[in-house]
Structure 1
Amino acid sequence: MQFWQIAFMYKWVTAAQLRLAVKTDANPFGEITPKQYKEITGQDFETQAEA
């Protein structure tokens, strides 16, 4: 998770791009959890079905 925190902090990735790194049923190879996504971005993680 530390890499993704740094990448977001230095604006190497946007919140939208970071969503692609979240582990979900549709993306079982993700590197961070939805909870970690919220810790990094301050935004709730919602799947496309929820949005």
Structure 2
Amino acid sequence: MAFWELAFSMKWVTADKLRLAVKTTSNPFGEISPEEFKQITNQDF
């Protein structure tokens, strides 16, 4: 998760693009959980 926090804070990735890294049933190979997405972006997944 540290990489994604850094990438988002440095604006290397937007919240919309970060959604692609979230592990879901349709994306079982995601790297972060929906809860971690909220911690990073302060937005609900």
Structure 1 or 2, whichever has the larger Rg, is: 1
Tell me the TM-score normalised to structure 2 length: 1.00
The percentage of aligned residue pairs carrying the same residue is 67
Unaligned runs of 5+ in 1: 46-51
Alpha-carbon RMSD: 0.1
Question: Is 1:28 equivalent to 2:24 in the alignment?
Answer: no
Encode CA deviations 1:2-50: one digit per residue, 9 max, x unaligned: 00000000000000000000000000000000000000000000xxxxx
Count of matched residue pairs: 45
RCO (CA 8 Å, sep 6+): is it higher in 1 or 2?
A: 2
Normalized per residue, the structure richer in helix is 2
Unaligned runs of 5+ in 2: none
Tell me the TM-score normalised to structure 1 length: 0.88
